[in-house]
């Protein structure tokens, strides 16, 4: 690792604040352009994704799928199976070993490969003239802020007095929770609620509105039912009155249609959102604006409201996915080191929720398309019309496509399917290159695949796919 013990005489083309996925993307991109880069970290290198987000959660979700899959084998006549968590601490250790291995291989070991990057550690503050690192001046021609986010807590009376778990600490428990109360129906809440339930915890999931409020209502309703079928108690359309710690349990008082009700559990897990890590940076002094959700305001070129300062990744408060953080950071580095020529484009950004069935989407939802002024048409195909699902004896889910009524051009897609995450990229490409529903329906797809369901959904705009034979069309 290239470490600098002093910054007094160091001058850099670019200072990157934050050593997570966005920070590394920006630093490597700039170094490949020939820039001299100061990559500044604070705390554990690697950021959210590898340490406490994507990697640890997804390996635990896969473990839960393995447990669930043995019992689900009974959907095939003549099969039976059962699995359970035999050693929780071994499972957690395996997760930690994976995380530490990837952090070493994909972050720490990469730094010596780039001569132009100096890795520095310390607290960065903007002042009137530039940057201070641990109180000492750091000279850099341009700066990129990529400090990420951390969990935030809802405004529920009493929550500050209750030992709440976050998505980070929930995956670090040394004992499997007997019961868990999950607050928040977004993608993190849904993923972790199902995961813990499949591993044997009694789980209640509560949310003010509905699950996955940004997803199509058909998708959200179907996922809600699937979670309930697995034993998760899903409570929606409620308000929170207070939360207390009593008799070694958390008690959450909710209000449903004017009636108060108390829910209790051994642990409470808060998954209601994340806040940008900007405290202590001196943004106000630097004239760097933040928006209503606390994210740093950037334009299409990733520029902040201060000259020569850019921002990228989750700290901007938008598109909080690791691949979008890396994408935005790469653009910011190219623009900062060269000229402001490359613009951020998320119009065909795919997204995935790793529940089972998985939820995946791209483009505009039906409501979003209508708000944009489109007269839309939709096609919804349940998975019991997809041969792959019938062969797997697993017809949980559906596919929904949105198209422009006037031009037949595809505008958006959402999928709820056991293999939905591996199918959505087809729709990303179709929308990016302006395909019509007719063109997608005429495209050749391999038989007995989940992605073939997209062809059927495209054909569903004009015909009843239930009346088609296998491979017809």
What's the CA gap between 363 and 369, in Å, rounded? 9
- How confident is the model over 233-263, as pLDDT tens digits? 999 999 999 999 998 899 999 999 999 999 9
Question: Do 382 and 257 fall within a single domain?
Answer: no
pLDDT bin (cut points 50, 70, 90) of residue 472 is low
Question: Do 286 and 310 fall within a single domain?
Answer: yes
314 is in an annotated binding site: yes
- How confident is the model over 191-207, as pLDDT tens digits? 999 999 999 999 999 99
Question: Do 176 and 226 fall within a single domain?
Answer: yes
188 is in an annotated binding site: yes
Residue 317 resides in a domain: yes
- How confident is the model over 274-299, as pLDDT tens digits? 999 999 999 999 999 999 989 999 99
For β-strands 131-133 and 124-126, DSSP reports them as antiparallel
189 is in an annotated binding site: yes
191 is in an annotated binding site: yes
- How confident is the model over 151-177, as pLDDT tens digits? 999 999 999 999 999 999 999 999 999
Q: What number is the average pLDDT over the span 115-132?
A: 94
Question: Do 416 and 457 fall within a single domain?
Answer: yes
DSSP label of 308: T
Residue 169 resides in a domain: yes
Residue 5 resides in a domain: no
Residue 344 resides in a domain: no
Question: Do 146 and 279 fall within a single domain?
Answer: yes
φ and ψ of 378, to 5 deg? -130, 155
Question: Do 385 and 322 fall within a single domain?
Answer: no
- In three-state secondary structure terms, 353 is strand
Percent of the chain beyond pLDDT 90?
94
Q: Residue 153, CB half-sphere, CA atoms under 13 Å: how many? A: 15
- How confident is the model over 370-412, as pLDDT tens digits? 999 999 999 999 999 999 999 999 999 999 999 999 999 999 9
Inter-residue contact 205 to 182 (CB < 8 Å)? yes
Residue 71 resides in a domain: no
Read off the CATH number of the domain in which 37 is found: 3.50.50.60
158 is in an annotated binding site: no
Question: Do 166 and 221 fall within a single domain?
Answer: yes
Residue 471 has pLDDT above 70, yes or no: no
Q: What does the block give as tokens for 423? A: 């199918």
pLDDT of residue 298: 98
Choose one of 337, 371, 387: the last residue of a domain. 337
Question: Do 265 and 178 fall within a single domain?
Answer: yes
- Please give the C-alpha separations between residue 211 and each of 28, 32, 184, 225, 355, in angstroms, as whole numbers: 38, 43, 8, 11, 12
95 is in an annotated binding site: no
- How confident is the model over 63-89, as pLDDT tens digits? 999 999 999 999 999 999 999 999 999
Residue 76 resides in a domain: no
Task: State the virtual CA torsion across 281, 322, 190, 261 in degrees, nearest 10.
Answer: 10
Choose one of 272, 287, 320: the last residue of a domain. 272
Residue 4 has pLDDT above 60, yes or no: no
Question: Do 203 and 307 fall within a single domain?
Answer: no
- Please give the C-alpha separations between residue 342 and each of 327, 333, 334, in angstroms, as whole numbers: 11, 10, 8
Q: Please enumerate in sequence order all residues whose Cβ is within 8 A of that of 256, keeping only pairs 6 or more positions apart, or say none.
A: 235, 237, 238
Read off the CATH number of the domain in which 402 is found: 3.30.390.30
136 is in an annotated binding site: no
Going by C-alpha positions, the residue among 12, 183, 426 that lies closest to residue 2 is 12
For the chain, what is the mean pLDDT? 95
185 is in an annotated binding site: yes
Residue 3 has pLDDT above 80, yes or no: no
**Range list of β-strands (E), 110-169:** 117-121, 124-126, 131-133, 136-145, 149-151, 164-165
pLDDT of residue 10: 80
User: What is the extent of the structural domain holding 369?
Assistant: 351-465
Choose one of 256, 272, 288: the last residue of a domain. 272
Question: Do 331 and 279 fall within a single domain?
Answer: yes
Residue 223 resides in a domain: yes
Inter-residue contact 288 to 251 (CB < 8 Å)? no
Question: Do 256 and 166 fall within a single domain?
Answer: yes
pLDDT bin (cut points 50, 70, 90) of residue 5 is very low
Question: What's the total number of domains in the chain?
Answer: 3
Question: Do 123 and 28 fall within a single domain?
Answer: yes
pLDDT bin (cut points 50, 70, 90) of residue 470 is confident
Q: What number is the average pLDDT over the span 319-339?
A: 97
What's this model's pTM, rounded to 2 decimal places?
A: 0.94
- Taking CB atoms within 8 Å and a gap of at least 24, the contacts of 250-254 are 250/162, 250/163, 250/164, 250/181, 252/156, 252/181, 252/183, 252/206, 254/206
pLDDT of residue 1: 45
Residue 84 resides in a domain: no
pLDDT of residue 129: 83
pLDDT bin (cut points 50, 70, 90) of residue 9 is low
200 is in an annotated binding site: no
- In three-state secondary structure terms, 211 is coil
């Amino acid at each position: 690792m290239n470490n600098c013990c002093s910054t007094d005489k160091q001058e850099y083309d670019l200072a990157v604040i934050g050593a997570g996925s966005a920070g590394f993307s920006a630093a490597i991109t700039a170094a490949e352009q020939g820039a001299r880069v100061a990559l500044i970290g604070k705390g554990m290198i690697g950021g959210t994704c590898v340490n406490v987000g994507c990697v640890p959660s997804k390996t635990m979700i896969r473990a839960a799928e393995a447990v669930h899959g043995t019992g689900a084998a009974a959907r095939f006549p003549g099969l039976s199976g059962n699995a359970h968590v035999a050693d929780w601490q071994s499972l957690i250790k395996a997760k930690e070993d994976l995380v530490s291995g990837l952090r070493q291989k994909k972050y720490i070991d990469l730094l010596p490969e780039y001569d132009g990057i100096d890795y520095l550690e310390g607290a960065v503050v903007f002042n009137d003239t530039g940057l201070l690192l641990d109180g000492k001046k750091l000279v850099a021609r341009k700066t990129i802020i990529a400090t990420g986010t951390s969990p935030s807590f809802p405004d529920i009376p009493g929550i500050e007095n209750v030992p709440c778990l976050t998505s980070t600490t929930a995956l670090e428990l040394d004992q499997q929770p007997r019961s868990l109360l999950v607050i928040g129906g977004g993608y993190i809440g849904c993923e972790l609620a199902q995961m813990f339930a499949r591993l044997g915890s009694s789980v209640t999931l509560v949310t003010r509105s509905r699950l996955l409020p940004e997803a199509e209502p058909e998708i959200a309703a179907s996922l809600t039912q699937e979670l309930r079928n697995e034993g998760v108690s899903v409570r929606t359309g409620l308000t929170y009155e207070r939360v207390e710690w009593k008799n070694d349990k958390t008690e959450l008082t909710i209000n449903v249609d004017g009636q108060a009700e108390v829910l209790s559990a051994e642990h409470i897990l808060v998954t209601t959102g994340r806040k940008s890590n900007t405290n202590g940076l001196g943004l106000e002094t630097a004239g760097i604006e933040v928006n209503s959700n606390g994210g740093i305001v950037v334009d299409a070129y990733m520029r902040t409201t201060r000259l020569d300062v850019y921002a990228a990744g989750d700290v901007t408060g938008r598109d909080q996915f690791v691949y979008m953080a890396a994408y935005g950071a790469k653009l910011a580095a190219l623009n900062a080191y060269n000229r402001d020529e490359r613009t951020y484009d998320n119009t065909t950004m795919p997204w995935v929720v790793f529940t089972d069935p998985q939820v995946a989407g791209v483009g505009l939802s039906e409501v979003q398309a209508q708000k944009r002024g489109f007269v839309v048409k939709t096609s919804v195909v349940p998975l019991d019309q997809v041969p792959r699902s019938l062969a797997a004896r697993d017809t949980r889910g559906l596919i929904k496509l949105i198209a422009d009524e006037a031009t037949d051009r595809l505008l958006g897609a959402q999928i709820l399917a056991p293999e939905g995450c591996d199918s959505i990229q087809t729709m990303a490409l179709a929308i990016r290159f302006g395909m019509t529903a007719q063109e997608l329906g005429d495209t050749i797809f391999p038989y007995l695949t989940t992605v073939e369901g997209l062809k059927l959904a495209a054909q569903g705009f004009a015909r009843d796919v239930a009346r088609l034979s296998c491979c017809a069309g």
